[in-house]
């Protein structure tokens, strides 16, 4: 079996040389929704209606502001009939309603032709959507804003996603034993603000199952330290498609 990941962008909020970070697991599971989401789905020939569940890590604009454009697409150009589930921090339904109403009045309507479901993430909360089992863990990012990491189990394997975070034990619990860990690394220096640094990534690599493949995203400008490359850690590129062979046993 294989796990298919498609990166719609791999840059941090400042995106000096990359687009904002987001990726697909297969075509059904979306992780974060930057403003470039819809354009990049179309650039890669992806049908936005194939997305059945979106996991939103937190409410910063580079991770969340693409959802109104997705709902606009469904309302005006590509009507959908399959249900859509959006998993995100507490308040996700009200926050998306307000953002969408501000951007495109009347898009967030009841007669949309499909059911829109919301699931609020929580520390250790579990759920199921679009045939995927998931668990969320709260991680530290910036004061006053809840941020979540996710672990998603599909029939083809398991993926963990860090969201935006600083170093914490929750990252080990969410990623340990997964097939792939998509993890942010927002700079190549030692001080990355409320984010993970290369030193943090190497520390996580030492604590998490050796068979778990690390893929870095949410990246800034510059070149990765040699230690990252030597550790076999992958650095995703915009629009890159990665396939990982997964042991079926």
CATH number of 2-245: 3.60.15.10
Give me the pLDDT at residue 109, please: 77
Burial tier of 249 (Cβ tally within 10 Å: 0-12, 13-18, 19+): exposed
101 Rama class: left (phi>0) / alpha (psi -120 to 50) / beta: alpha
Residues of the chain with pLDDT below 50 are none
User: Does 111 qualify as catalytic in the annotation?
Assistant: no
How far apart CA 36 and CA 63 sit, in angstroms, is: 10
The residues that bridge with 184 in the sheet, in sequence order, are 217
Question: Do 160 and 174 meet the contact criterion of CB atoms below 8 Å apart?
Answer: yes
From 62, 179, 200, 238, active-site residue: 62
pLDDT at residue 249 in the model: 56
3-class state of residue 205 by DSSP: helix
The reported pTM is: 0.97
Which of 237, 171, 164, 166 has the alpha carbon at shortest distance from 205? 171
Handedness of CA 217, 223, 227, 232 (dihedral sign): positive
Handedness of CA 4, 13, 122, 66 (dihedral sign): negative
């Amino acid at each position: 079996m294989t796990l298919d990941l498609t990166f719609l962008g791999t840059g941090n909020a400042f995106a000096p040389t990359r687009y904002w970070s987001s990726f697909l697991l297969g075509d059904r599971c979306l992780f974060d929704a930057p403003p470039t989401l819809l354009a990049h789905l179309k650039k890669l020939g992806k049908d936005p209606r194939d997305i059945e569940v979106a996991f939103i890590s937190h409410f910063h604009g580079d991770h969340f502001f693409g959802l109104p454009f997705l709902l606009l697409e469904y309302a005006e150009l590509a009507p959908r009939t399959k249900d859509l589930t959006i998993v995100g921090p507490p308040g996700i339904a009200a926050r998306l309603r307000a953002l969408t109403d501000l951007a495109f009045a009347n898009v967030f309507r009841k007669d949309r032709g499909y059911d829109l479901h919301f699931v609020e993430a929580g520390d250790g909360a579990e759920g199921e959507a679009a045939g995927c089992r998931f668990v969320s863990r709260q991680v530290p990012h910036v004061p006053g804003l809840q941020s979540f990491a996710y672990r998603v189990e599909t029939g083809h394997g398991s993926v963990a996603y860090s969201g935006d975070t600083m170093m914490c034990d929750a990252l080990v619990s969410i990623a340990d034993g997964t097939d792939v860990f998509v993890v942010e690394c927002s700079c190549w220096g030692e001080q990355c603000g409320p984010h993970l640094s290369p030193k943090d990534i190497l520390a996580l690599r030492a604590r998490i199952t050796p068979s778990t493949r690390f893929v870095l995203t949410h990246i800034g400008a510059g070149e990765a330290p040699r230690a990252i490359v030597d550790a076999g850690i992958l650095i995703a590129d915009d629009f890159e498609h990665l396939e990982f062979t997964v042991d079926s046993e």
